Chains A and B, each alone.
Chain A
């Protein structure tokens, strides 16, 4: 034990004696570990945020999206590139309360990017065409003014509800109610402002403008829906509702085999697992890249340790002369490479944390560094030190003392 402590001290001394070289040697490990820590912490942050948002949707909201296979965990779904397969007819079918007693409310969604003209300036904005039940289903509600009613929808009126941020973007501090905005050369009267909605890195509903589904179908010239939101009467009916929706839409789409469905019915849990699948795939891909840099870093360590063994051949000879055993020399050099990678790992954790914090300033994700990822980083970097330090250490320990002392 005493021997190990002394060897540790001596190793630290020799690492600090060559500060510049030790830093460069550690660089590979620092880059590898810091990118792993940054990626994992940001990935954790994304997962946490999405989970929270999905749980805000409420357990009784189902989302029907175009493309099959999402709910079976087939990744991105079949043929995501083709145009949406959901139609106004599908929406009408699901609205039939008698045929679908488990459904409480339904809203279609048409999403499009557009430009609003206000005085002389133009503002990029996302337009959501929605049904009258939309704000109710999302559980957000109207802040001031009114939402859409069935009459406005059916009569295809040019009315708009704005998100809170959109109000500021367009009207600044003045009262938007009753004012008009020009969208695709048509004038829309602002009738309401939506309550603050939860935002995330993918979308911020507060920046959106909402218009009746029918009107959006007219001005953008589309008949297909980007999604249908369905509110279920209560949680116990979710499975039944999913089945009902599927059956009804399969009939509409003339598809006999359920497995070939060109749409997916997603519960919040399904959404969660689909999102986690995507983020998981991304972070494992990035982790593999980081892993390569760790291997490269390890080779760097091996290289420098081999140089150190050659440089310090006489020291090894001297140590053997004063009584170092083969195993003592082996342990000494293993401790040195272990300490190099461990210091690199610790620096990597600090840098990775910093990178995560810096990135979060730009993309609004809170990085989460878990104890597990710190243990993993420390474990991986020490493992690299031992594995890549082994060859140089064995080489050093096998030196013959006389040859080592005479080495020129």
Chain B
């Protein structure tokens, strides 16, 4: 029996994906695969074996690579200061694939926060298109947007992440106020364990350190099993050791398949990501990949 490795299958899929992107028809892609001798290999393996190999190795790879979780085109955001019009974003075009860990960098006033808010459906662009998880979301009503935020997006802010006078557990459960999920409490406890705060579960915000507060925020962001986690300067108020802890938590979450988009202005924080997008004056000035997805 042929030994077909994960890498072999990956390269096949990359090939298919790139061909599709470059506008080749499915028929011509199949023709070229035949020429390369791949069809014989796959047929010889048998359909069920292929499926087994895929489910064993490549479940995440498949969904992560075939689909853009975020696709924005020509997004502009303008503000009016009295008569004067100022642009926060000038025609941004950006695709983020499932499973990526992206940082958005830029000096203050570069539009990175505005972009973040638009990505998180907290704000709407003045013009342009935004496809989130394959769905156009620009024209959604405010309650439909709230639903997307609730179920598909997890937020971690720089500050005021926790409800005052509320325990860690109830903070993590907050999103379930607006959408009932079965066995919410068990899930919350499981997530709190993942962020290593099980012993603080019944503590309130004022009994926690800055790093612990951010861990609670991450746990809450994970509660609804979102498509993406948006983190706005999540380490902005933390010392370097604690920051490292939060960043490794993000990495761990990302390795489990959750897309993470993080806004920061600190280079050493940004370097933990797989991809760095730099903004200046409302435009993308560089887009650099550090690690494969």
* Contact status B120-A321, CB under 8 Å: yes
Chain B positions within 8 Å of A325 at CB level: 142-143, 146-147, 178
Chain B: minimal CB distance from A406 (Å): 9
CB within 8 Å of A: which of B152-207? Answer: 155, 157, 160-161, 163-166, 174-180
CB within 8 Å of B: which of A214-254? Answer: none
Complex: chain B residue closest to A332, CB-CB: B177
Known: A3-B177, A401-B122. A318 touches B163 (CB 8 A): yes
User: Which single member of B155, B160, B166 contacts A314 (CB below 8 Å)?
Assistant: B160
**How many residues belonging to A are interface residues under a CB distance threshold of 8 Å?**
25
Q: List 10 tightest A-B contacts by C-beta distance, closest first.
A: A323-B150, A325-B143, A323-B178, A325-B146, A322-B175, A314-B160, A2-B180, A17-B165, A6-B177, A321-B155
Chain A positions within 8 Å of B150 at CB level: 322-323
* Contact status A322-B142, CB under 8 Å: no
Chain A positions within 8 Å of B143 at CB level: 325-327
Chain B positions within 8 Å of A318 at CB level: 157, 160-161, 163, 174
User: Which single member of B117, B160, B165, B179 contacts A323 (CB below 8 Å)?
Assistant: B179
Query: What sequence of 0s and 1s flags, for each residue 370-408 of chain A, a beta carbon within 8 Å of any chain B beta carbon?
Result: 000000000000000000000000000000011001000
* Contact status A324-B160, CB under 8 Å: no
What interface size band does chain B fall in? 20 to 34
Chain B: minimal CB distance from A286 (Å): 41
Chain B positions within 8 Å of A319 at CB level: 174, 177
Judge whether A10 is part of the interface by a CB distance below 8 angstroms. Answer: yes
* Contact status A3-B165, CB under 8 Å: no
Judge whether B275 is part of the interface by a CB distance below 8 angstroms. Answer: no
Bound: A69/B76 CA distance, A: 83
Bound: A234/B143 CA distance, A: 77
Judge whether A169 is part of the interface by a CB distance below 8 angstroms. Answer: no
Chain A positions within 8 Å of B123 at CB level: 402
Judge whether A21 is part of the interface by a CB distance below 8 angstroms. Answer: no
* Contact status B117-A402, CB under 8 Å: yes
Judge whether B151 is part of the interface by a CB distance below 8 angstroms. Answer: yes
Chain B: minimal CB distance from A320 (Å): 7
Chain B: minimal CB distance from A51 (Å): 54
Judge whether A13 is part of the interface by a CB distance below 8 angstroms. Answer: yes
Known: A318-B163, A405-B160. A328 touches B142 (CB 8 A): no
Chain A positions within 8 Å of B224 at CB level: 323
Judge whether A55 is part of the interface by a CB distance below 8 angstroms. Answer: no
Judge whether B149 is part of the interface by a CB distance below 8 angstroms. Answer: yes
Chain A positions within 8 Å of B122 at CB level: 320-321, 401-402, 405
Known pairs A322-B174, A322-B220, A323-B151. 7 more at Cβ < 8 A? Answer: A3-B177, A3-B180, A7-B177, A13-B166, A318-B161, A321-B122, A402-B122
Can you identify 20 A-B contacts, CB atoms within 8 angstroms? A2-B180, A3-B177, A3-B178, A3-B180, A7-B177, A17-B165, A318-B160, A318-B163, A320-B146, A321-B122, A321-B149, A322-B155, A322-B178, A323-B150, A323-B224, A324-B178, A327-B143, A328-B178, A402-B122, A405-B160
User: Which single member of A3, A10, A323, A327 contacts B149 (CB below 8 Å)?
Assistant: A323
Bound: A14/B170 CA distance, A: 13
Interface centre among B151, B160, B161, B175 (most CB of A within 10 A): B160
Known: A13-B166, A314-B160, A405-B157. A323 touches B180 (CB 8 A): no
Bound: A6/B165 CA distance, A: 16
Bound: A14/B163 CA distance, A: 11
Bound: A134/B166 CA distance, A: 77
CB within 8 Å of A: which of B105-150? Answer: 117, 120, 122-123, 142-143, 146-147, 149-150
Judge whether A52 is part of the interface by a CB distance below 8 angstroms. Answer: no
Chain B: minimal CB distance from A219 (Å): 78
Query: What sequence of 0s and 1s flags, for each residue 323-346 of chain A, a beta carbon within 8 Å of any chain B beta carbon?
Result: 111111000000000000000000
Bound: A17/B177 CA distance, A: 20
* Contact status A315-B178, CB under 8 Å: no
